[in-house]
């Protein structure tokens, strides 16, 4: 098991920056998505990112956006004992949401509170309900009475119109547009620049391809592409 450097024993006490009390937070995943989330967290000014965890040994002791990669997920228990109570998911998705979901569930199993990261230039209506662990990026718009589940990514410039219902562990990719009253089931991926007509129901474990235009309901466990979107295959079970 990889051991934590002694310097991170300071995590027993909340970090202090100026007059603002900062809570230590650990990230799970050290790839490109982690860079984006680190930036969002820094802009929020509430949490101090003290390290990242990743199973790739070649990343250990390197840094991502100035944050050290401490070791693998095996360090979660030790970090929790040292007083780190918050985590974020730094793993993005390109269709398969299950690896990200497993990290989210792992953090929860170890007693961490998975925090949300919201860019200050996202537009979120006051009536929107957002579950824990959401990542909402710059330029995203979420309109009135939409509901967002746990561990959801609303990527740069994505639009979720009023009264949409987004399940947990969903990724709404960059520039995707969901018209009003769209429902998206758990573990689904809405691809880059995709458009979903109003009142459409997208099932669970669905992949909507980049640029697709969805004008009919989509059942569970399929991949749809094209204009209009059509089913091309089933999604393999995780």
Are 29 and 51 within 8 A, CB to CB?
Answer: no
What's the rounded Cα separation, in Å, for the pair 49 and 42? 8
**Structure-block tokens of residue 88:** 């974020």
Query: Which residues does residue 71 pair with via DSSP β-bridges, in sequence order?
Result: 53
Asked if residue 228 has a cis previous peptide bond (ω within 30° of 0), the answer is: yes
HSE at residue 192, side-chain half, CA atoms within 13 A, is 3
215 membership: H or E segment, kind and range: none
Asked if residue 204 has a cis previous peptide bond (ω within 30° of 0), the answer is: no
162 tagged catalytic = yes
The single residue of 19, 33, 162, 171 carrying the catalytic annotation is 162
Q: Which of 203, 194, 205, 199 is nearest to 229 (CA)?
A: 194
CA atoms 97, 99, 102, 108: torsion sign: negative
**Structure-block tokens of residue 29:** 């995943």
Residues acting as catalytic residues = 162
């Amino acid at each position: 098991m990889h051991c934590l450097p002694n310097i991170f024993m300071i995590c027993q006490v909340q970090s202090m920056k100026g007059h603002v009390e900062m809570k230590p937070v650990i990230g799970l995943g050290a790839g490109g998505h982690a860079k984006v989330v680190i930036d969002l967290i820094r802009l929020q000014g509430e949490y101090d990112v003290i390290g990242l965890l990743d199973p790739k040994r070649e990343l250990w002791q390197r840094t991502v956006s100035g944050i050290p990669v401490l070791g693998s997920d095996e360090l979660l228990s030790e970090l929790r004992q040292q007083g780190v109570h918050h985590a974020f998911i730094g793993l993005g998705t390109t269709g398969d949401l299950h690896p990200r979901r497993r990290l989210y569930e792992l953090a929860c199993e170890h007693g961490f509170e998975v925090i949300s990261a919201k860019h200050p230039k996202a537009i979120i209506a006051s009536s929107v309900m957002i579950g824990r662990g959401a990542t909402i990026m710059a330029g995203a718009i979420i309109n009135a009475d939409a509901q967002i589940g746990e561990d959801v990514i609303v990527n740069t410039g994505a639009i979720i119109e009023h009264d949409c219902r987004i399940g947990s562990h969903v990724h709404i990719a960059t520039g995707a547009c969901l018209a009003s009253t769209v429902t998206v089931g758990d573990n689904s991926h809405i691809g880059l620049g995709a458009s979903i007509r109003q009142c459409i129901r997208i099932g669970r474990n669905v992949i909507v391809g980049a640029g697709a235009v969805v004008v009919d309901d989509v059942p569970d466990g399929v991949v749809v592409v094209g204009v209009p979107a059509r089913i091309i295959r089933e999604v393999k079970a995780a």
